Amino acid sequence: MTYDEAVLLCNDLRGRYDAPFSNLDKKSIERLYGEVLGKTFKPTNCQNCYHDALIEIILYLKREKRMAEKSNYRLRAGYIINNPHFRGGRIYTNDNLTDAIAAEYLEMFPANTKMFQQLPEKREIKPAQAEKPVEPATTKASTRKPAKTRKKKK
Q: What DSSP state is assigned to residue 89? A: G
- Residues of the chain with pLDDT > 70, as a percent, come to 78
Provide the total of helices (H) and of strands (E) in the chain, helices listed first: 5, 4
The answer on pLDDT for 129 being more than 60 is no
Instruction: Estimate to the nearest angstrom the gap between the alpha carbon of 51 and the chain centroid.
Output: 23
pLDDT at 97: 86
- Alpha-helix residue ranges (DSSP H) falling in 1-154: 3-14, 23-32, 48-64, 99-108, 127-131
The answer on pLDDT for 112 being more than 80 is yes
Residue 139: which pLDDT band, with cuts at 50, 70 and 90?
A: very low
Overall pTM > 0.75: no
pLDDT at 28: 93
> What φ, ψ does residue 92 adopt, rounded to 5°?
-125, 135
Residue 146: which pLDDT band, with cuts at 50, 70 and 90?
A: low
Mean pLDDT of the region 100-111: 93
The whole-chain average pLDDT of the chain stands at 81
Mean pLDDT of the region 130-145: 47
- CB-CB neighbours of 129 under 10 Å: 16
